[in-house]
Amino acid sequence: MKIRHIIPLIITGACALAAAIDMTAQFTPQNKLRMAEMAISQLYVDTVNENQLVENAIKGMLKGLDPHSSYSTPEETKELNEPLQGNFSGIGITFNMNRDTLYVIQTVAGGPSERVGILAGDRIISVNDTSIAGVKMKNSAIMKRLRGEKGTEVDVRVLRRQRSSTDTLDFTITRADIPIYSVDAAYMADPITGYIRINRFAAETPKEVSDAIRNLKKKGMKQLILDLVDNGGGYLNAASDILGELLPQGSLAVYTEGTNSPRYNLIASPAGKAPIFDEGRLVVMVNQYSASASEITSGAIQDWDRGVIVGRRTFGKGLVQRPIPFPDGSMIRLTVAHYYTPTGRDIQKPYSKGDQKAYAKDIIDRFNHGELMHEDSIKYVDSLRVTTLRLGRPIYGGGGISPDRFVPLDTTDNTLYYRKVMAKGLINQYAIRYVDENRKQIKKQYPTDTDFTARFEVTDGMLSQLKEIADKEGIEYNADQAAQSRPLFAMVIKALIARDIYDNASYFKVYNEYDPIFREALRLINSPEYDKILAAP
């Protein structure tokens, strides 16, 4: 009896769904998908979340494609777009979480927090009467409370440590637009060499880079180190615009092409806009995490023999995503084409559709195969060999941009003891405490970050204090590993202190003195070897 009742029910349900979709038209995959969704939402035994059902279906379709086609919820889309758009509305602070307390590292110059009197070193303990101290709140949850619509107000309570007392102060801050900078640092590395570090390719990045180049030229810059290490990319047009300041006018920067997307050329410095640094030595720093727009930039510079690439083979992300927004604020980023450098090299490394796991393991595989430590572990394919456009130098495709000068990954200082201390956030905690106790003395003794970088030294006593913190956290001390990691401990402590006292660029002034890629870039740009690399074979 049950079977007789169920069969008509199934047939009736199917017919109703077919009628709703107009099965008189030709049956298509789209109709099939709609019919499946309607069947589940209307006939399934339990209540289903129809929105989640559709989202899962979208994710399932994208999962079988390339590694970079993706779906994001409205909230995720906002978080993805915000850093690339160049600003957000908030209170204008750089902060760090130190033992579940929000510690103000810097206030944005002229921003809302600075205007009301918040200082570096202040602890924000509550926002709109909600405690955020000691409650293990995520950074994202804290930022939601501090950010908001431009012109709205937020009340904060601040703990301020004075020389002999601790005061609790209340502020009302009016939110405003806060710029997000993509140039981390721009300074003179020596009397004629400028250095610019870019962390992403955002809407305002070309202007930031152009401004930085102009300022450095005023200070005597004749040659430039462009740091794209760890830069995961961003907007295609931003890369093309930056190349417009570095390549001869009218040079091809990159082109894109796909099955359903005809070839599209992006030209650097189109007619009417002259580049501002198309002559003078140029070195580009890259590593295995430099991706997408970073690879477009370094690839074009290499193809045109405009400069020397220093570091390690880049990530190999050469797929173009087109954003497809939905009315609810969610978005698909769908791969529609490949990037090609001016010589026709496909930047994208090989992948298998749907095998996200293997793709994600690529960098680990490079490490295990020795590619990050030994140049001769890199295997080039003769069929992918091309020649540069001006000098005819041999270069290779096959995924990523291979450097003209390889710099191995050095893990000597990165001991297990160091990693345990770092993973607990103890170096940062120590630096915050040190700055708290010595801020005025440091600024008096070292008026500029140049003075600080040249003369400040991390002492054995400071490292002993860090060890005491680590001991209290239950990290077993290893004297040999601590000694082996001393240069790394000292560099990170000094760099964090410099950042907290001066600005973000000061961190890189300290870090670069330690970094092997920067040291090689600076050595090479001042060496006759530069011209030997950029010479016809």
Judging by beta carbons within 10 Å of its beta carbon (0-12, 13-18, 19+), is residue 387 exposed, middle or buried? Answer: middle
Phi–psi pair at 402, nearest 5 degrees: -85, 135
Closest CA to 188 of 216, 213, 227: 216
- In order, the DSSP letters of 409-436 are ---TT--HHHHHHHHTTHHHHHHHHHHH
Phi–psi pair at 154, nearest 5 degrees: -140, 135
CB-side exposure of 404: number of CA atoms within 13 Å? 28
Q: How far is CA 114 from CA 83, 122, 127, 158, 187, in A?
A: 22, 12, 17, 13, 25
Whose tokens are 């003395």? That residue is 441
- Retrieve residue 251's tokens: 């040079």
Phi–psi pair at 527, nearest 5 degrees: -115, 150
Residue 343 contacts residue 389 (beta carbons within 8 Å): yes
- Retrieve residue 519's tokens: 């040291």
Closest CA to 109 of 522, 504, 482: 504
- The Cα–Cα gap between 486 and 458 comes to 10
| Residue type (1 letter), 530 | Y
Active-site residue list: 292, 303, 317
- Retrieve residue 80's tokens: 């993805």
Whose tokens are 């590292």? That residue is 105
Whose tokens are 């405690």? That residue is 131
How many residues are listed for the chain in this entry? Answer: 537
Q: How far is CA 426 from CA 98, 142, 287, 322, 498, in A?
A: 9, 21, 27, 41, 17
Q: Can you list the alpha helix ranges (DSSP code H) found in 187-303?
A: 205-218, 236-243, 293-303
- The Cα–Cα gap between 366 and 289 comes to 12
- Retrieve residue 499's tokens: 């950042």
- Retrieve residue 455's tokens: 């003369």
Residue 522 contacts residue 189 (beta carbons within 8 Å): yes
Whose tokens are 């402590």? That residue is 493
Residue 56 contacts residue 38 (beta carbons within 8 Å): no
Alpha carbon of residue 492 to chain centroid: 20
